[in-house]
Amino acid sequence: MTERKDPAYVSFTDAAALIVRSGLAGSMTPRGLRYMAQARSSKDLPDEQRWPFGLEPGQEPYLVAGRTRMMRTALLLEYLEKFPPTGRGADKGPRRNPS
């Protein structure tokens, strides 16, 4: 069987699927990954924990292809291995009204 080689750059959509396929998270959506990118771009975090892509010093710029932001796959996977995704997980259905 031929070994699957990841592309050099991935979009948020492709990255979400890659994260699950790589076993870094049980589930991930492009929206969840974008939320993680925004939340982890906070200047309150130590530099090594900040999202590695963006326009700030120490971040690698996104590669823009049309209207799509692309990230270097190797850097994304390296970052997520050090700082794995956390969260509540997949939607499990309706929640109880607290009132």
pTM: 0.81
What's the pLDDT tens digit per position in 28-63?
999 999 999 999 998 888 989 999 999 988 899 999
Q: What is the rounded CA–CA span in Å between residue 15 and residue 8?
A: 11
Label residue 81 exposed, middle or buried (CB < 10 Å: 0-12, 13-18, 19+): exposed
Helix and strand counts by DSSP (H, E) for the chain? 3, 3
